[in-house]
């Protein structure tokens, strides 16, 4: 069987021989006896409640066949239906950095399309603009052109505007938002979800013997999501929370929350912050007697920044992030073609198009079903494995990295290569 570059499904060990063709290299794209008395067993944690899912909307105008105005490919026989992919990004956003990000996401999508070698796929772009009405109008344009699936938009308010329009046509949306409130009922979030990072790093720290956790989180929507995930993850790990402090990142006032965290005597502290303020927090904690020499510092994906490795007060800290070795191949290919380094989020657009390429062999208008997109075995992307959960959020196989004393990062717990539980 011939293979094509792109996303590949993750195969459970028992299905190895049946689906050998699913294995593709990451470069192609594309988790004591002694004197002490015996301790009583720890009571079993109750199973977590299943995540609520949105009710499925009944599409009033499902996309089911060719219509006048649908975009065609000149080199495709008339009897074949092309795979039309709508790409909805903020190309004209008021922020220059946002426009640049949108441009690089589009470049990554084009790279995945080229590497798929599929002559029946095309990308149709539309402008998310500043969200709201702009995004809704752009979604209608894409649907009028025959988009069978939509990649984007980037912002949650745009997803909220686009969602009812896409659902009315039974067209799934793969968004890059991290706001899980907009997920579900045909809306899938292919993004770096804070909950996955927090769960990975807290679980790893608990496995290494840490049991008293504290956290410092910003008073932002991101901080709220981290705090929720922190509570859930510590509980699931059978550990305890000794303190949870928030701070206002805009004013940089961290002395009081830092002092309170230090006084709680944790043995691990999660700092959900990046950039210069992360270094300030680490220095303040050290001055309060809870630095990296006394307490295990933990981080989220915001630590995945070269500047983090240069902060001496973060040396020895652990954080969860995609495997840097896996993503290196994508970075190299992007740089060779476009002459610049891709922003971290660019890989999401690459993975989205590669996933669509994998599923594109199905019958037209029935290729991207919830069952196909939410395959529990997951897929192998450019920076590791991922899968969509039934609630529309995504889960990633992440590595745990350590900030080295001399600078740089070292992988201390590799990312898993399958979502299949060991021993199952």
pLDDT digits (tens, 9 = 90+) for 179-227: 989 999 999 999 989 999 999 999 999 999 999 999 999 999 999 999 9
- Residues in CB range of 91: below 8 A, 6 or more apart: 99, 102, 103, 106, 125, 127, 128, 129
Integer distance in angstroms from the first to the last C-alpha of the chain? 28
Residue 406 is predicted with a pLDDT of 84
- pLDDT of 407 over the 70 cut: yes
- pLDDT of 25 over the 70 cut: no
User: From the CA atom positions of the chain, what is the Rg in Å?
Assistant: 23
Tokens linked to 102: 């949108």
Residue 252 is predicted with a pLDDT of 80
CB 385 within 8 A of CB 415: yes
Residue 58 is predicted with a pLDDT of 85
Alpha carbon distance 352, 152 (integer Å) = 9
CB 149 within 8 A of CB 122: no
What does the DSSP assignment read for 239-251?
-EEEEEEEE-TTT
Alpha carbon distance 424, 420 (integer Å) = 7
pLDDT digits (tens, 9 = 90+) for 90-148: 999 999 999 999 999 999 999 999 999 988 999 999 999 988 999 999 999 999 999 99
Alpha carbon distance 343, 108 (integer Å) = 10
Residue 53 is predicted with a pLDDT of 64
Q: What percent of the chain has pLDDT over 90?
A: 70
- To the nearest whole number, what is the mean pLDDT of the chain? 86
DSSP 416: P
For range 289-316, the mean pLDDT: 94
CB 254 within 8 A of CB 264: no
CA dihedral 191, 148, 360, 175 (to 10 degrees): 0
For range 358-383, the mean pLDDT: 92
pLDDT-based confidence at 331, cuts 50/70/90?
A: very high
pLDDT-based confidence at 66, cuts 50/70/90?
A: confident
- pLDDT of 9 over the 60 cut: no
- The length of the chain is 424
DSSP 41: P
Other residues' Cβ atoms within 10 Å of the Cβ of residue 303: 29
The more confidently predicted of residues 67 and 53 is: 67
pLDDT-based confidence at 421, cuts 50/70/90?
A: low
Stretch among 8-22, 57-71, 189-203 having the lowest mean pLDDT? 8-22
CB 236 within 8 A of CB 353: no
């Amino acid at each position: 069987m011939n293979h094509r570059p792109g996303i590949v499904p993750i195969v459970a060990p028992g299905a190895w021989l049946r689906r050998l063709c699913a294995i593709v290299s990451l470069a192609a794209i594309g988790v004591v006896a002694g004197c002490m008395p015996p301790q009583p067993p720890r009571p079993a944690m109750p199973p977590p409640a299943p995540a609520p899912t949105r009710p499925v909307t009944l599409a009033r105008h499902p996309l089911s066949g060719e219509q006048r105005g649908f975009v065609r490919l000149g080199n495709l026989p008339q009897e074949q239906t092309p795979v039309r992919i709508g790409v909805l990004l903020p190309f004209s956003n008021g922020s220059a950095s946002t426009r640049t990000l949108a441009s690089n996401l589009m470049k990554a999508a084009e790279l995945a399309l080229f590497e798929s070698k599929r002559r029946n796929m095309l990308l149709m772009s539309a402008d998310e603009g500043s969200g709201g009405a702009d995004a809704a109008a752009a979604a209608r344009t894409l649907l009028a052109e025959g988009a069978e699936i939509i990649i984007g938009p980037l912002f949650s308010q745009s997803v909220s505007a686009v969602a009812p329009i896409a659902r009315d046509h039974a067209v799934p949306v793969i968004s890059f938002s991290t706001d899980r409130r907009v997920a579900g009922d045909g809306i899938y979030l292919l993004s770096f979800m804070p909950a996955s990072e927090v769960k990975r790093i807290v679980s790893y720290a608990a496995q290494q013997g840490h049991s008293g956790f504290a956290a410092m989180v910003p008073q932002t929507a991101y901080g709220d999501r981290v705090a929720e995930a922190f509570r859930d993850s510590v509980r699931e790990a059978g550990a305890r929370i000794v303190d949870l402090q928030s701070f206002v990142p805009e004013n940089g006032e961290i002395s009081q929350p830092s002092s309170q965290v230090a006084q709680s005597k944790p043995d691990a502290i999660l700092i959900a912050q990046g950039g210069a303020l992360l270094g300030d927090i680490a220095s303040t904690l050290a001055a309060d007697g809870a630095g990296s020499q006394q307490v295990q510092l933990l981080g989220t994906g915001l630590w995945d920044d070269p500047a983090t490795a240069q902060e001496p007060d973060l040396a020895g800290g652990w954080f969860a992030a995609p495997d840097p070795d896996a993503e290196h191949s994508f970075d190299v290919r992007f740089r060779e073609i476009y002459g610049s380094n891709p922003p971290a989020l660019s890989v999401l657009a690459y993975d989205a198009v590669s996933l669509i390429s994998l599923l594109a062999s199905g019958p037209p208008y029935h290729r991207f079903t919830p069952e196909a997109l939410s395959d529990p075995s997951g897929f192998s992307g450019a920076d590791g494995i991922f899968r969509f959960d039934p609630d529309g959020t995504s889960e990633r196989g992440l590595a745990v990295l350590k900030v080295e004393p001399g600078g740089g990062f070292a992988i201390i717990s590799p990312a898993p290569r399958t979502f299949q539980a060991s021993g199952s």
